[in-house]
Structure 1
């Protein structure tokens, strides 16, 4: 089981041009040290979609150091280390592009991807970092903050390590190795499948005349699926909270502006599970 590793996460201005980097090093399965820096990508144009995701603008980083100026501080976290990322293909591409851009030699390192590993080990409707964090009950405060995402990914990597290790032991020893942890995983996977099947198949007028706004990330469904469930049960989806909104359905990382407007307008806040309780025997 790998217990010494470094998790890294880039946020980018556009393409492979990094504007922030978070790294968390683990030793013996425990958080050891961390690194976080804003990075001047030396490009003036930031993709508006990227800004919407991570909130970093050109003005935030125009006076920060560029990648090459930060490299000496980054190197101890990378050289000879086992690097872990969620969708490692992307983060490795950003790293290699930046090294090539500034003429820096690529240091030796090993790479693991929690996205690929999760797809191999557990059956879930979504493998987004936020969805996996919800499933494995890893707390997350600021999704798409590079340091926070690196920490969440590190905790997820440890949990996937445990799943893989106990699966191997169970394959070797069969029922001589009962695992409460694997039983818990199997039960949660079964609950996800059953809940999804019931909710997506449902069609009623239970939500007729009600207006909903959706915000955040959800455990069982994507936001598109949440919209579908509400509409096929008679509800109406709107993009912003107003005095006409009946419910704001909140997942993790719900938008602060929508929460503030809901409070101002007296809109009722409900969770994903509370909505499902209305629609199915949950």
Structure 2
């Protein structure tokens, strides 16, 4: 299951204990289920010129904010024993370690990985892999350097990369993108990768390739379930890629279209509801704009 926590800190000055804002996005079973945001009274209580220009948080607005040690009991349940993802994780984890050192805090277990490194492995042809750049080209809107928005987009990008790499869980994504997973103290954590037996994902195209950007599948994530009668699954996925879309394996809240083919009752039961169809119902009930297509509608859109 794709379960992880995406985090983002903003800091007030160059001190490692100067975090002034924290955002957290909770991902459970491939869906963002919660987003949290806290303002933090930084130590020392100073706002650097550069930092204020970046996140635009006035120092005076933090006067009544809790110090991190006061906030920690509320934050701990989100981090304890979890895998943390952050865009430029070294920055965020260094701030967290600085806060721990200053306030004499502790945590039993926490492991983390960097989505910048994952993005470099996923989109190697792109000139930049900053959060703003990747959000723009993945059509994700947000207010950059607002901690909860940054955490949300970090989670969305991780889910998009999991789709592209057909990763079954966060360890699988870390393994397939060949990045390091580390413990809180910076030592390397152990992964337990499963052997890959299914067909490789089609080649991820360069985002700048000459593709019809007005095509309805351009930049959209498309998932298939069931058997298609007119063409094979691999052929259908390749057609999506040729349109500039993303032929993903896993259904998530970032999926735009799900194409439903004939369901095998021996595999999905008499109700003819695959696990993807059940998850689609859940996403639709939560208000996500997923579009369900049958095979004829899919072919007509090509």
The alignment's TM-score, normalised by the length of structure 2, stands at 0.56
Residues 215-263 of structure 1: per-residue CA shift (max 9 Å, x gap): xxxxxxxxxxxxxxxxxxxxxxxxxxxxxxxxxxxxxxxxxxxxxxxxx
Q: 1:188 aligns with which of 207, 222, 243?
A: 207
| Partner SS for 2:12 | strand
What is the 5 A alignment of 1:1-282?
3-15=2-14, 16=16, 17-123=18-124, 124-137=126-139, 139-165=140-166, 179=201, 182=202, 185-190=204-209
Q: 1:141 to 1:121 in 2, by over 3 A?
A: closer
Correspondence for 1:204:
none
Does 20-29 or 104-113 show the bigger shift? 104-113
- Residue 6 of structure 2 contacts residue 155 of structure 2 at CA under 8 Å; is this kept in 1? yes
Residues 142-174 of structure 1: per-residue CA shift (max 9 Å, x gap): 1110000000000000111122237969x8566
- Residue 5 of structure 1 contacts residue 27 of structure 1 at CA under 8 Å; is this kept in 2? yes
Taking the aligned partners of 1:186 and 1:49, their CA distance within structure 2 comes to 37
Q: CA RMSD in A?
A: 2.3
- Residue 80 of structure 2 contacts residue 108 of structure 2 at CA under 8 Å; is this kept in 1? yes
| Partner SS for 1:99 | helix
Structure 2 runs not aligned, ≥5 long: 168-172, 177-193, 212-302
Which protein is richer in helix relative to its size?
1
Taking the aligned partners of 1:107 and 1:135, their CA distance within structure 2 comes to 38
- Cα drift, residue 191 of structure 1: 5.0
Residues 60-112 of structure 1: per-residue CA shift (max 9 Å, x gap): 10111000000000001000011110000010000111011101113311101
| Partner SS for 1:19 | strand
- Cα drift, residue 6 of structure 1: 0.6
- Residue 78 of structure 1 contacts residue 107 of structure 1 at CA under 8 Å; is this kept in 2? no
Q: 1:79 to 1:191 in 2, by over 3 A?
A: farther
- Residue 9 of structure 1 contacts residue 146 of structure 1 at CA under 8 Å; is this kept in 2? yes
Taking the aligned partners of 1:23 and 1:48, their CA distance within structure 2 comes to 25
| Partner SS for 1:77 | helix
- Residue 10 of structure 1 contacts residue 146 of structure 1 at CA under 8 Å; is this kept in 2? yes
**Equivalent residue pairs, number:** 183
- Residue 142 of structure 2 contacts residue 150 of structure 2 at CA under 8 Å; is this kept in 1? no
| Partner SS for 1:188 | coil
Taking the aligned partners of 1:90 and 1:107, their CA distance within structure 2 comes to 21
- Cα drift, residue 190 of structure 1: 3.6
Structure 1 runs not aligned, ≥5 long: 193-282
Taking the aligned partners of 1:72 and 1:173, their CA distance within structure 2 comes to 43
| Partner SS for 2:207 | helix
The alignment's TM-score, normalised by the length of structure 1, stands at 0.60
Taking the aligned partners of 1:141 and 1:173, their CA distance within structure 2 comes to 35
